[in-house]
Amino acid sequence: MKLYIKNMVCLRCVKAVEQLLQSINTKVLYVHLGEVLLEEPLSSTQWQHLQSELQSLGFELLDDARKQQIDKIKSIIIDHIHYEEDEKFLFTEVLSKALLREYSVISKLFSETEGISIEQYVILQKIEKVKELLAYNEMNLNEISFKLGYSSVAHLSAQFKKVTGLTPSQFKAQGIHLRKPLDEV
């Protein structure tokens, strides 16, 4: 049985859901960002308990197919930007391959549902990753630019300022409190 769960945006979220599923005695085949595969269907008691517990942790079971697709798109984007080491990829190809659909169909669904384009969502996620890397002083702007696939530091800086209203240097001086949780981007 496959379940789709909204707001699973990090590896700690995966761990929290794994622990919750273990606590209700379910046989889990895998847990990924936004997706769970169970060996057997849940009983109605388990289902209600799972819904309640997920909600208390800030997650939501998705039962609408459109919502599931949107959550899957977001999970793929977040995973590639925040957790993959491969710098060079095209989201049009990644999403089409993962969802087995034409990118134009995926893009239209996302825009209609979310009110922004996939490209804009990718930019917002990249900017959050830049904020993280700047806040923790892990890389310089040149390295960050390369890691996130920007054509130049100037392009990264311009996009950063457009989204945040600050230059990367100004952001760094202001500190960590300006970051957003990934599920709020």
Q: What pTM was estimated for this model as a whole? A: 0.72
Percent of the chain with pLDDT over 70: 91
Measured CA to CA, the distance from residue 130 to residue 140 in angstroms comes to 10
Domain ranges, ordered by start, for the chain: 2-62, 66-185
Q: Which range (40-44, 62-66, 70-74, 110-114) has the least confidence?
A: 62-66
CATH 3.90.70 is the classification of domain 2-62: no
Measured CA to CA, the distance from residue 6 to residue 66 in angstroms comes to 12
Q: Tens digit of pLDDT for each residue in 106-153?
A: 999 999 989 999 999 999 999 999 998 988 888 899 999 998 889 999
Measured CA to CA, the distance from residue 100 to residue 170 in angstroms comes to 42
| R_g over Cα of the chain | 18
Query: So what CATH class is 66-185?
Result: mainly alpha
Helix axes 103-114, 65-82, angle to 10 degrees: 100
pLDDT at 183: 59
Average pLDDT, the chain: 88
In total, the chain counts a number of residues equal to: 185
